[in-house]
Amino acid sequence: MERPLRVKAKKARVLHTKKKLLQLKRREELSHNIRYIEKVPVEIVMDRDFVRVRPEDSLATLIGLLRGEESSAVVVDDSGRLVGFVTVKDILHLFAPLRHHSVVGLSLLKRYAVNRATRVGDIMVTRPITVNAGDTLGHAISVMLESGKHHLPVVDDSGRAVGLLEVKDIIRLIRLVSL
C-alpha cells in the first residue's frame, strides 16, 4: 500500500518539475521576444490607413469619419504636414456636463460654442506629441507611458503625417510574438 503512494508522489513531482521547466522556457522565450519588440521600428507597426482631416473641416464631418474602432484623427494641412490631433476624448470634453464649481459665464459660453459651425481647428491639439517613423517601439512606448497618451501621430523627417501608432497596434504585435 505504501509503495503505490510513493510512486504516485514521485510521478507528481516529476510532472510538476517538467511543468516548471516548460514555464521557465516559455518565460525565457517571451522575454527574448519582448526584448525584440522594443527594437522594432514604429513604421512597421503603425497604421498607415488613418483618419485625416483639415482644420477647416466641420466637427460634424470629423464625427462622421470616426467610425468603428477609429478613435482619433490626424489634422493635416494641404501638403500633408501635421498641424494638429484630435481624439474622441477631446470631442467628449465638449459635451461634458457643466460642473458646479465652474465659472458661470465660461461654462455657458462653452455650451453655446459647440454647434454646426464648430471646426476641427477649434478643438484640435495644436502641438501634439509625436514619434518619428524611424523611432523604435521602445522609444514610442516610453513616450506613451510618460505622456499618458494612447495614440501618437507618426511623422517623417519633414513633419508630414505618415501614420498613427496606437496602444492596440503594440498589443497586437506582442500577442503575435508571444504565441
pLDDT, averaged per 10 consecutive residues of the chain (179 residues), comes to 64 64 61 74 92 91 78 88 90 72 51 66 91 95 95 94 94 81
Going by the DSSP 8-state scheme, the letter that residue 159 receives in this structure is S
Q: Residues 30-74: pLDDT tens digits?
A: 555 666 888 899 999 999 998 999 999 998 888 888 876 667 888
Q: What is the pLDDT of residue 108?
A: 46
Check if the beta carbon of residue 125 is closer than 8 Å to that of residue 84. yes
Which domains does the chain show, CATH number per domain?
A: 29-177 (3.10.580.10)
Q: For helices 167-177 and 2-37, what crossing angle results, to 10°?
A: 130
The residue written with cell numbers 516610453 in the block is 142
Cα of first residue to Cα of last residue in the chain, in angstroms, is 44
Burial 44-59, CB ≥16 within 10 A → b, else e = ebbeeebbebbbebbb
Q: Strand pairing partners for 166?
A: 151
Q: What is the pLDDT of residue 37?
A: 83
Question: Distance of CA 156 to CAs 91, 134, 145, 153, Å?
Answer: 27, 8, 22, 10
